Amino acid sequence: MAAVTPTSSRQTKSWFAITVVEEGNSAQNVAGLTIAVELTDAGIKTGTTSKKSPVVRFDDLTPGGAGNIVETSDEKVAWEVIADIE
Residue 56 domain-assigned (yes or no): yes
Query: Residue 43's domain spans which residues?
Result: 14-72
Q: How much is the pLDDT for 32?
A: 87
Q: How much is the pLDDT for 36?
A: 92
73/29 Cα distance (integer angstroms): 16
59/61 Cα distance (integer angstroms): 6
Residue 77 domain-assigned (yes or no): no
Residue 21 domain-assigned (yes or no): yes
Residue 39 domain-assigned (yes or no): yes
Residue 54 scores a pLDDT above 70: yes
CB atoms within 10 A of CB 37: 21
Instruction: Determine what percent of the chain is predicted with pLDDT higher than 90.
Output: 16
pLDDT band at 81 (very low <50, low <70, confident <90, very high): low
Q: How many domains does the chain divide into? A: 1
Q: How much is the pLDDT for 4?
A: 56
35/49 Cα distance (integer angstroms): 8
Q: Per-residue pLDDT averaged across 19-40, rounded? A: 80
Residue 79 domain-assigned (yes or no): no
